[in-house]
Amino acid sequence: MPGNTVHVRCGSDIRRGLQQAGIGGRFVEFSDPVCQGPVPADLDDADLAAVRARFIAEAYGGGEAGCRRRLEAEMAALDAIGEDDGIVLWFEHDIFDQAVLIRVLDRLAQRPALRVRARLICIDRFPGIDRFIGLGQLTPEQLASLLPQAHPVTDSQFILGRRAWWAFRQANPGELWTLVEMGTPDLPLLSGALRRHLMELPGCRDGLALTERLCLRAVAEGATTPGDIFHALREELEPQPFLGDLMLWPILRRLSDALQPALTPFAAWNDALEPTPFGRALLDGGAEWCAANPIDRWLGGIHLTGPTPAWRWDEMANRPMAAD
């Protein structure tokens, strides 16, 4: 690979592993979790950084100014990749990674000299690992074994990445759903991740996002603490694990702090909790979340508001639907 090598990853989980494997080059973490919170289409880079910093500070904790500095530093590091540098993009199949990947592809595509130097590692399994969750599971030796699989990013992959990032930021899910229905053979793991993303729309039956529904199911099946819920999602219930514990926390708080909560109050990962009567009714199909708790949340560029949000996920048809 020409020049210096830059390893781009949506987190820091493999940084040490690459070093221990003797894989040279510098590491760029680009990890804004755009699969959660607002990513409106009508904002420039500066305004988007401000919106994302506000969301991250409110959802995960920390100062808004510090969050914005980190986001801007990550973008600056990506933009600072030199035209003589080789680039290796390290990603996996889940929506956290795939959303960051299409954003990175959109950014790199605007620099023609870099396009020919970018290589991609993107996997959804690894030999000997029954439930593959992500690259962070791999040993240094296993990470090193992936490097020969890094393939040059093609023009069609850049085009698809740009199209998908544009669609991800739109105010309705139509273009994203088109990509899901068509399939994304140039980025074969993308369409499944986008489908999982759209399943975070409020369900037609109960008004819950899939993650919220799985959290309640985990409690019904024996999870007694927030930490137990996280473990159940990661190890069994979530079909495509993508949430870190910090990202799950505001979802659990939303279920607990609502006007009509579905979970009893808690303050720490090892606190005991249980479903409320309303939570049990949700599990039994006898209640609807949005009607009882008007929502105000974003899914990419889609702003979901009120007791009758404009878009839902139809579990029977297995697709997004406009509200009647």
pLDDT tens-digit map of 34-47: 999 999 999 999 99
DSSP letter string, 260-293: S-SB----STT----B-HHHHHHHHT---HHHHS
User: What are the residues facing 296 on neighbouring strands?
Assistant: 305
Sheet holding 37-38, edge to edge: 37-38, 295-300, 302-306
List the domains of the chain with CATH numbers.
5-170 (3.40.50), 199-322 (1.10.10.10)
Which residues, other chains included, contact 173 with Cβ-Cβ below 8 Å and sequence gap of 6+? 198, 201, 302, 311, 320
- Alpha carbons 121 and 131: distance in angstroms, whole number: 19
DSSP single-letter state for residue 135 = G
pLDDT band at 323 (very low <50, low <70, confident <90, very high): confident
pLDDT of residue 324: 73
pLDDT digits (tens, 9 = 90+) for 143-179: 999 999 999 999 999 999 999 999 999 999 999 999 9
Q: Is the pLDDT of residue 2 over 70?
A: no
Q: Residue 29 — φ and ψ, nearest 5°?
A: -90, 125
Prediction pTM value? 0.96
Name the burial class of residue 210, with classes exposed (0-12), middle (13-18) and buried (19+) by CB atoms within 10 angstroms of its CB. Answer: buried
In three-state secondary structure terms, 244 is coil
pLDDT digits (tens, 9 = 90+) for 250-282: 999 999 999 999 999 999 999 999 999 999 999
Joined tokens for residue 106: 């959109």
Q: How far apart are CA 139 and CA 137, in angstroms?
A: 7
Alpha-carbon distance of 236 to 263, in angstroms, equals 21
Contacts with 210 (C-beta within 8 Å, 6 or more apart), sequence order: 196, 199, 200, 203, 313
